[in-house]
């Protein structure tokens, strides 16, 4: 495992990168990215057999960002892994960029699936996991879902399929921040009892603090949680984690801080030098 303190700093750096990208572009999803930061840091720096030299190799581990709206975060991570050129992060969502709010596989290196429409990633991941079983390859497939995304029926079609085919090389991670676009999941379409649902579909379930990198890492080091069963990690998170005014406030699902007071708070809380903001991605 990488040094936890380094990774905690890296997580903070990822938040800075994401908010700068979105602020500059005037688009992208900040709060949904912030809830997934520690999950992606733990995956890419402690768990995945994936780096700049093997990211097209057929034996690599796969990571599928089914909650495609966290694209900005994934770009920042891929740049940190040197799979993506760091210098293009500041083109995010701008004219002629390859980096849209939702990632596209044929444009951006390191993207397994073009996502943005929710509910697609788990089936795609199950197909890759099945191919791994058929071809006797030992890679693993990780799929990050948002909790609101599991309201899609296709997720449960895929859940049935994965357990029926004993895909223990498939791992779903749910970024369970309890908010969806317009409000609390609990108020809009309750998922409870959430872990029991997965269990009854034949998955082995574990729950973690989704902002604790070492806890996420330790838990994912024990996959498959049970042989012959797909694993699901329910990561309890806070939407907008890291910014006081954004945490747990639904409106920030798709909103960018304004250029006055809000940006000042951002700079203060995330330790961004207001004056230096310009070419920040070197």
Q: Which residues bind other proteins (CB under 8 A)?
A: 58, 104-106, 112-117, 119-120, 122-132, 134-135, 153-154, 157-158, 160-161, 164-165
Least distance to other proteins, CB of residue 60, Å: 11
Nearer to other proteins, 13 or 104 (CB): 104
- Which pair of structure tokens corresponds to residue 100? 């849209």
Enumerate residues 6+ apart whose C-beta is below 8 A from 202.
159, 160, 162, 163, 164, 229, 230
Least distance to other proteins, CB of residue 108, Å: 12
Q: In the chain, which ranges are E strands? A: 62-65, 141-146, 170-176, 179-180, 183-184, 204-209, 231-236
Least distance to other proteins, CB of residue 117, Å: 6
Nearer to other proteins, 127 or 224 (CB): 127
Nearer to other proteins, 128 or 223 (CB): 128
Please give the Cα distance from 205 to 225 (Å, whole number). Answer: 8
Least distance to other proteins, CB of residue 202, Å: 14
Nearer to other proteins, 130 or 208 (CB): 130
Residue with tokens 């444009």: 107
Question: Quick one: which H or E segment has residue 147?
Answer: none
Nearer to other proteins, 57 or 186 (CB): 57
Least distance to other proteins, CB of residue 216, Å: 24
Nearer to other proteins, 135 or 274 (CB): 135
Least distance to other proteins, CB of residue 70, Å: 17
For residue 265, the tally of other CB atoms under 10 A from its CB is 14
For strands 204-209 and 62-65, give the pairing.
unpaired
Please give the Cα distance from 270 to 155 (Å, whole number). Answer: 35
């Amino acid at each position: 495992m990488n040094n936890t303190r380094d990774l905690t700093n890296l997580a903070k750096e990822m938040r800075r990168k994401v908010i700068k990208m979105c602020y500059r572009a005037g688009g992208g999803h900040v709060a949904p990215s912030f809830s997934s930061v520690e999950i992606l840091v733990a995956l890419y720096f402690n768990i995945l057999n994936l780096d700049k030299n093997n990211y097209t190799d057929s034996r690599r581990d796969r990571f599928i960002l089914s909650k495609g709206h966290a694209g900005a975060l994934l770009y920042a991570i891929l740049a940190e892994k040197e799979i993506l050129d760091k210098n293009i992060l500041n083109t995010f969502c701008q004219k002629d960029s390859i980096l849209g709010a939702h990632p596209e596989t044929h444009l951006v290196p390191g993207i397994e699936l073009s996502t943005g429409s929710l509910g697609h990633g788990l089936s795609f991941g199950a197909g890759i996991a099945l191919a791994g079983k058929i071809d006797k390859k030992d890679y693993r497939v990780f799929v990050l879902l948002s909790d609101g995304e599991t309201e899609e029926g296709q997720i449960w079609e895929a859940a049935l399929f994965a357990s029926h085919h004993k895909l223990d090389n498939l791992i779903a991670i749910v970024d369970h921040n309890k908010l969806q676009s317009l409000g609390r999941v609990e108020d809009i379409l309750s998922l409870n009892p959430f872990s029991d649902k997965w269990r009854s579909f034949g998955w082995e379930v574990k729950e973690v603090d989704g902002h604790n990198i070492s806890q996420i890492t330790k838990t994912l080091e024990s996959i498959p949680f049970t042989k012959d069963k797909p694993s699901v990690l329910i990561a309890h998170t806070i939407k907008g984690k890291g910014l006081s005014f954004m945490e747990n406030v639904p409106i920030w699902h798709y909103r960018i801080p304004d250029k006055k007071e809000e940006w000042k708070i951002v700079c203060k809380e995330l330790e961004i030098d207001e004056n230096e903001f310009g070419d920040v991605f070197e």
